[in-house]
Amino acid sequence: MTVNAHPLREKYTRSHVARTTTCPGCGIGTVSQAILRAIDGLQLDIDDFVFVSGIGCSAWIPSPFYNADTLHTTHGRPVAFATGVKLGLPHKHVMVVSGDGDLTAIGGNHLIHAARRNVNLTVVLVNNGIYGMTGGQTAPTTPPGIKTITSPYGAMEPHFDVSAMVSAAGASYVARWTTHHPRQMSRAIRKGIEKEGFALIEAVSQCPVQFGRASKIGGAVEMLKYFKENSVRRDKALGMEPEQLAGKIVVGEFADRRLAELTAQWARLRSDMAEGS
Amino acid sequence: MGRNSRILTGTHFELGNWGCAEGAIAAGCNYVAGYPITPASEIANLLAARLPQVDSTFLQTEDEISAICSAIGASWAGCKAMTVTSGPGISLMQENIGFAAATETPLVIVDVQRFGPSTGVPSVGLGADVVQVARGSHGDYQIIALCPESPQEMFDLTIRAFNLAEKYRVPVFVLADGFIGHMREQIVIPPQERIQIENRKIAAPAKSVLERNDFLDVEVAPMPVFGRGLKAHVTSSCHDEHGMRNLSDPEVMHRYVMRPIEKILTHRDDIVQVQEDVSDADLVLVSCGTVSRSARAAARMARSQGLKVGTLRLLACWPLPDKEIRSAADRVKAMLVLENNTGQLYPYIKAESAHACQVSFLGPQTLGQIHDPAYILDKVKEMMQ
């Protein structure tokens, strides 16, 4: 039997890991490919990276697949773990891959503080708007009105605008793209890796099994079509009224700026101390 | 010796918390994360000033959860990492104390215990975290906890905590309290050559983690430290010897729990330390940490009155020095367990000794105050009647 595997499979993933845990139609494969294409495009060795993930479907993107150092942590904490990894290995690229529930609910405080510190991490936040792995519960990213298993009468709370929040907290680079925009997403991840400072790429992704059903949008194809039809470029969105933007997904770059970065500041302090001795 | 020296050799008159901070630096600690909390703050305050002088990093985090997580991350990055807090912070850290135990991460956790439950009284010591440090995270695991009784031991046992953490790839507690942390006494820092330092063994490169055992070795697997192309797979979820997740094989589940526990228990003779003066005693006072100072004073008073009273001090309370407690129980008629709490280690100690002698517990006359030696002596006399 001939097996046709993507060239990135052999180059960057553990050959002995043969199965994924994702449901049919999941957007995680698209996000994973966007990450690996970004690394490939930069001609970086995967050993130049340490991947850190939390709990939830998308935390399984690097672990167990990527053939690199991977740290699969407790729920909500990957950014906190990654901060220690980065301060210990300032010359490595440290990438966090995790979901919206992990990074904005239970781990929300770590996320905004890492952005404030502007520690040089690349965070790929896979936002499917729901808790997929545990069976479709409401997340802080679930749009109001959607009926989930824990909001059977419709979600009543407003949802986070993750990219705007992380941008306001002080990150150097923030971008949002959907799985309908894989090339833009990959370019944003590449920019995030290159950026000296905290970079967040919000990857809006389809969970047809949970979100597609709850929102009644439908399966993977319908969800991708929904992303296509409801995405608004940020430059265009800036000129639109809030009512016009209701239900829309604003895509593009939210921040791209040069700010003091934490590990560089630590390196400078230590070298000043050594010279002053 | 400049301020950039790691080892401040000499005789100092300093706080216990100072001893802990300097012990960490002398042990080679190069990453500390913490969140302000009384009565532990001085340790982090001092390290914030000292660590950059010795080419190291101090991170003040948004909470204690982040502190322990970043310290674990730094340990995997190859650092000798520590976090410092008091009981309320330990409560927040419990989730990732379990993570460190499950992933066999070298880590030092300092708990300068304070009066509780809950927010309690920040500046009053109480030795009431003694069980939560060992049993507070969910699931089944073992840790090591060392119990200093003086500022000098805050220095000595912090170094020992790093050495044990590195040698056995485990989280190790320094279990101090507000009294020792804020006590000022002589601290002697020996010359560098007299300070023994252990460093972790590091795994060798392999084509795949399947060709290497990175976890679950009773004799301590070399650590696949990040950043060296070792392609480590680290997860706190149930994993096999290679670190690969396995949530279906009952044999792997068994090994995932048992091997890290056996790793500590198999080497308990190297880890456990006690100080005993039991010789001809009829009654022995058992204690750890601050209370041991009162125990020793009470034993002296008893001896001066012709009563044969000895002492057994646990320098490590986890793993429990079970053999040493049993051996003392076999030689005496009575054992009095002293703790500054309502009797937390007492059931564990009683389980090892009640077969052989009479065993009682005595908390301080007022919780949160140091045991008055005369008060201990009254109880001793009552038991010896």
- Residues 268-327 of chain B with CB under 8 A from chain A are none
Judged against a pLDDT cut of 60, whether residue A157 lies above it is answered with: yes
User: Dihedral angle at the C-alpha atoms of B313, B318, B323, B326, nearest 10 degrees?
Assistant: 60
**Mean pLDDT per 10-residue run, chain B (385 residues)?**
83 98 98 97 98 97 98 98 98 98 98 96 94 97 98 98 98 97 98 97 96 98 98 98 97 98 98 96 98 98 98 98 98 98 98 98 95 98 95
- Percent of chain A at pLDDT > 70 equals 99
A215 pLDDT more than 90 = yes
CA dist., res. A132 & res. A196, Å (int): 32
**CATH code of the domain occupying B10-194:** 3.40.50.970
The domain ranges of chain A are: 23-275
Residues of chain A neighbouring B224 (CB-CB closer than 8 A): 69
- Is the pLDDT at A2 greater than 90? The verdict is no
What is the pTM (predicted TM-score) of this model? 0.98
Cα-flanking dihedrals φ and ψ of residue B357, to 5°? Answer: -155, 170
Predicted local distance difference test score (pLDDT) of residue B100: 98
pLDDT on residue A4:
78
* CATH fold match for the domains B10-194 and B274-384: yes
According to the model, what pLDDT value does residue B222 have?
A: 98
Closest approach of A73 to chain B, Cα-based (Å): 6
Record the tokens describing residue B222, joined without a space: 């070399």
How high is the pLDDT of residue B3? 66
Would you call B361 an interface residue with chain A, using a CB distance cutoff of 8 Å?
no
Domain limits of chain B? 10-194, 209-269, 274-384
User: Do residues B113 and B126 lie in contact, with contact meaning Cβ atoms separated by under 8 Å?
Assistant: yes
In this structure, the strands spanning A231-233 and A249-256 are parallel
pLDDT score, position B2: 61
Chain B nearest C-alpha distance from A109 (Å): 8
- What number is the average pLDDT over the span A119-141? 97
Which positions in chain A touch B248 (Cβ < 8 Å)? none
Per-residue confidence band for A79, with pLDDT thresholds at 50, 70 and 90 = very high
Q: Residue range A39-44: average pLDDT?
A: 98
Q: Which DSSP helix (H) or strand (E) runs through B111? A: strand B107-113
Distance CA B154, CA A180 (A): 58
Residues, chain B? 385
Residue B182 tokens read as 């804020």
H runs (alpha helix) in B246-384: 250-266, 268-271, 291-304, 322-331, 346-353, 373-384
Least confident of A6-10, A187-191, A261-265, B6-10: A6-10
E strand map for A79-214 = 93-99, 121-127, 173-178, 199-204
pLDDT at A84: 98
Of A18, B49, B66, residue with least CA distance to B58:
B49
Q: What is the pLDDT of residue A93?
A: 98
**Which CATH topology does A23-275 take?**
Rossmann fold (3.40.50)
Of 3.40.50.920, 3.30.450.70, 3.40.50.720, 3.90.230.10, the CATH number of B274-384 is 3.40.50.920
- pLDDT at A1 (0 to 100): 54
Cβ-based contacts of B75 with chain A (< 8 Å): 84, 88
Q: Residue B123: count other Cβ atoms within 10 Å of its Cβ.
A: 11
